[in-house]
C-alpha cells in the first residue's frame, strides 16, 4: 500500500503520539493528519485543534485531505459513531478504505471471552445489565457500527488497559505498591482486564494499519483474561524476591499467558513480546527502588 494517507482523531498525547512517530518513520505512509481538542505534544505540523463533535470542521478536513485510513481514538458512544456514519452518508468518507475505531477489552466482563473473542457482541446473551457507563457506551458504539454498511470498511479494536513507561495514571505503580505491602486488598474476580504498554499498543495498531483489508473485530489484549486478584498475587509473589528482577523469565507477568498481545487477525512482531517484558521490568525496578 503506497502513498497512504492517515487521519487520526484524538489520542495525540500517549498511544496516538507513539503511533504518529512510528508512522512518520515508515516510507509507506505518505501523509498523517491529526485532530484533537489539545495541542499535539510533538508540535506536529499537520495537527488541527478542534472537537470531533464539530462535524462541519471534521467534514471539511476529511473532504480536503481525503485520507485512506481513519483512526478513531475517541469514539466513546453511540452518538460518536453515528456522527461518523452521518459523514459517510454525506460522502465525506468516500476515500476511506479502512476505519479503525478503539473499543475496550472490558466488554468481556459481560460477554464470555471464549464465545465472543474477536466476534460481534449479541445483546441477547447479556446475563446482567451493564452498569459501568464507559463499557456500556462502547458496547452501544460497537453494535451501532456493526449494524451499518460502514462495518465492512472497519476494524473494531478491543483495547486493554494501557500503562506507559512513565505510568502517567499511577495506577500500575499503586497496584505494585499494594501487592508488595502484603496487606489485604479486595478485588472483584469477575473484573477481567489486560495490560499493555503504550509502545506495544502503538506497534499493534501499526500492524493493523499496514493490513490491506479491514479486519472486523480485533483483540489487542490478554488471551488469559486474568482477574485483578491473579495479577495482584503474581506481583505479590515477585515482591518476595530479594534481587531486582531483570531476567525475562522472571518478570512481573508470565508473558506466555499474561502480559501479551493476542489476536488471530494480525501478525505479531517476533521481538514485540520482548519489548513488553523490558518495559514491565523497568516499571518493576522503579517501584522496587522507591
Give residue for cell 523490558.
278
The distance between the two most distant Cα atoms of the chain, rounded to a whole number of Å, is 63
Q: Which three cell numbers stand for residue 78?
A: 453511540
Nearest CA among 36, 40, 33 for reference residue 64: 33
Q: Does domain 4-161+195-219 have CATH number 3.40.50.720?
A: yes
In angstroms, the Cα distances linking 183 to 122, 177, 233 are 40, 10, 11
* DSSP track, 6-74: EEEES--SSHHHHHHHHHHT-TTEEEEEEEESS--TT--TTEEE--TT-HHHHHHHHHHH--SEEEES-
How is the chain split into domains, by residue range?
4-161+195-219, 165-193+224-260+267-288
Per-residue pLDDT of the chain (290 residues; tens, 9 = 90+): 457 899 999 877 778 888 888 887 776 788 889 999 887 656 678 889 999 899 999 999 999 999 999 999 999 999 999 999 999 999 999 999 999 999 988 788 788 877 888 999 988 888 788 888 888 999 999 999 999 999 999 999 988 766 544 454 555 566 667 666 766 665 554 444 556 667 777 888 888 888 878 999 998 765 544 555 666 666 666 555 443 433 333 333 332 333 445 566 766 554 555 555 565 566 556 655 65
Q: Inter-axis angle of helices 171-180 and 228-238, to 10 degrees?
A: 60
Our measurement of the distance from residue 234's CA atom to the centroid of its chain's CA atoms, rounded to an integer in Å, reads 23
pTM as predicted: 0.76
CA–CA dist 75, 137 (Å, integer): 9
Amino acid at each position: 500500500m503506497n502513498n497512504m494517507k492517515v487521519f487520526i482523531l484524538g489520542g495525540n498525547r500517549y498511544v496516538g503520539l507513539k503511533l504518529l512517530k512510528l508512522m512518520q518513520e515508515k516510507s509507506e505512509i505518505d501523509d498523517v493528519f491529526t485532530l484533537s481538542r489539545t495541542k499535539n505534544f510533538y508540535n506536529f505540523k499537520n495537527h488541527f485543534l478542534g472537537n470531533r463533535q464539530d462535524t462541519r470542521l471534521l467534514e471539511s478536513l476529511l473532504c480536503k485531505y481525503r485520507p485512506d485510513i481513519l483512526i478513531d481514538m475517541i469514539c466513546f458512544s453511540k452518538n460518536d459513531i453515528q456522527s461518523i456514519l452521518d459523514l459517510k452518508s454525506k460522502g465525506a468518507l468516500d476515500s476511506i478504505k479502512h476505519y479503525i475505531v478503539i473499543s475496550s477489552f472490558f466488554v468481556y466482563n459481560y460477554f464470555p471471552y471464549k464465545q465472543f473473542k474477536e466476534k460481534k457482541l449479541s445483546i441477547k446473551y447479556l446475563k446482567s445489565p451493564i452498569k459501568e457507563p464507559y463499557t456500556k457506551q462502547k458496547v452501544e458504539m460497537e453494535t451501532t457500527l456493526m449494524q451499518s454498511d460502514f462495518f465492512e470498511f472497519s476494524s473494531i479494536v478491543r483495547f486493554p488497559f494501557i500503562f506507559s513507561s512513565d505510568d502517567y495514571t499511577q495506577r500500575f505503580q499503586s497496584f505494585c505498591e499494594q501487592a508488595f505491602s502484603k496487606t489485604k486488598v479486595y478485588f472483584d474476580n469477575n473484573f477481567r482486564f489486560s495490560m499493555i504498554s503504550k509502545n506495544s499498543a502503538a506497534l499493534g495498531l501499526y500492524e493493523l494499519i499496514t493490513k490491506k483489508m479491514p479486519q472486523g473485530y480485533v483483540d489487542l489484549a490478554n488471551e488469559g483474561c486474568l482477574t485483578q486478584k491473579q495479577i495482584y498475587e503474581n506481583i505479590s509473589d515477585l515482591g518476595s524476591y530479594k534481587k531486582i528482577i531483570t531476567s525475562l523469565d522472571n518478570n512481573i507477568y508470565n508473558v506466555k499467558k499474561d502480559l501479551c498481545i493476542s489476536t488471530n487477525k494480525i501478525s505479531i512482531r517476533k521481538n514485540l513480546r520482548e519489548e513488553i517484558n523490558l518495559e514491565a521490568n523497568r516499571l518493576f525496578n522503579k517501584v522496587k527502588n522507591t
